[in-house]
Amino acid sequence: MSTMKAEAEVSFDQFELAPQVLQAVHDAGYTHPTPIQAEAIPLALEGRDLIALAQTGTGKTAGFTLPIVHRLISEPLTDAEGTAVRKVRALILVPTRELAAQVEESFRKYGKHSDLRVVPIYGGVSMDAQLKALKAGVDVVVATPGRLIDHMERETVSFSDLEVLVLDEADRMLDMGFAPQLNRIVREVPPYRQTLLFSATMPPEVEALARKYLRKPVVVQIGRRSETASSVTHAVYPVAHSKKTDLLVELLKNFDMDSVLIFTRTKHGADRVVRHLEDGGVKATAMHADKSQSERTRALEEFKQGKIRVLVATDIAQRGLDVTGISHVINYDVPQQPEDYVHRIGRTGRAAASGDAFTFMSPDEISMVRTIERVIGQQIPRISVPGFDFGTSALSS
């Protein structure tokens, strides 16, 4: 079992990924690899076989997609004359159509600055499109086992040049009774290949599968530490939706907060929070797409000089915003994307300044908080403030 590194210092740039891949990661808005990515990507790039214990929501898909895209574009396949040829070089086996579609989408996202071609192959849809794509030539096949075997029997797909095999959600594939199909498929792919196995759990059946198909695998598992800045103290405040502004005023009163960056989901939300704070005697200003550039610059200057203690922003407005020395980030609304959480929190805890990051969670935001916790690989402590909390029954996870 490999050990966790200090994720706070891990960045995508230190993996030796092709510039086109790093650009795609950047376009996706990711600043730091998730814990499973931090472990899996360097090992996959070395060509090792891997058993990765990771659930959906941990960023596992990019954990195998990024190194595969890197490999395919940095070592193009050519014939004896040196002309580029297109053969299936990576096969991703998944239990369901939904997952096949998601993994396909990941290859499109991370391979967007290359000319890689990916085809999803699953049952329940017409063979025609799949046949056409295969005939035209593809680099990556993402498939459910049953439909793939149909194609193999018709000899419409060949794996003679396969370099990487991924078994995604291996435990689920076995639960669904796909063991015979997996055996059949693995028999027909070259023995000299890299095999990456992802599974949420490790029952004896998955271990047996790994022993059969993998060579000297490294086992990676998410630790308990997070990749978000380690000096940041996170907390989630369960709060009724209608009480968020009151809770905000309460926290601003009781905590020693020098400079606070508050995030709301909408522009209107930002304006409303500012009005409420000003009514309560707290100097605040909003920063969002409806504000002119000069208004934004002035707001930022005043905030930096300490004339305004509270800046209320939407996610769009904070991109590229360089404010150092923020003592607190408050997610008035839970971010819609896990990556936005990482971005927002990245605003504090920078340059040795330690900061706190509070997230207000109303009942409809519980599942998003859980998704974020899976991505950052960390459970965020809940703090219940009597009179504001929506009830402890909703807290158990």
Site for ligand AMP, rule CB under 6 A: 30, 33-34, 37, 56-62, 338-339, 342, 375
**Angstrom distance (rounded) from CA 69 to CA 118:** 11
The residues pairing with 120 across neighbouring beta strands, listed in sequence order, are 142
Nearer to ligand AMP by Cβ, of 37 and 181: the residue is 37
Nearer to ligand AMP by Cβ, of 144 and 371: the residue is 371
Give the residue carrying structure tokens 């799949």.
Answer: 130
Nearer to ligand AMP by Cβ, of 247 and 342: the residue is 342
| CA 195 vs CA 68, 90, 93, 198, 294: distances in Å | 11, 10, 11, 10, 54
Asked if residues 239 and 388 have their Cβ atoms less than 8 Å apart, the reply is: yes
What is the CB neighbour count within 10 angstroms for residue 4?
16
Q: How far is the CB of 5 from ligand AMP (least distance, A)?
A: 15
Nearer to ligand AMP by Cβ, of 30 and 159: the residue is 30
**Angstrom distance (rounded) from CA 90 to CA 173:** 18
Alpha-carbon dihedral angle through residues 31, 36, 41, 47, given to the nearest 10 degrees: 180
- Phi/psi-derived region of residue 381, left when phi > 0, alpha when psi is between -120 and 50, beta in every other case: beta
Q: How far is the CB of 62 from ligand AMP (least distance, A)?
A: 5
Nearer to ligand AMP by Cβ, of 297 and 367: the residue is 367
Q: How far is the CB of 106 from ligand AMP (least distance, A)?
A: 7
The residues pairing with 78 across neighbouring beta strands, listed in sequence order, are 84
Q: How far is the CB of 116 from ligand AMP (least distance, A)?
A: 18
Q: How far is the CB of 253 from ligand AMP (least distance, A)?
A: 33
Q: How far is the CB of 109 from ligand AMP (least distance, A)?
A: 8
Nearer to ligand AMP by Cβ, of 120 and 338: the residue is 338
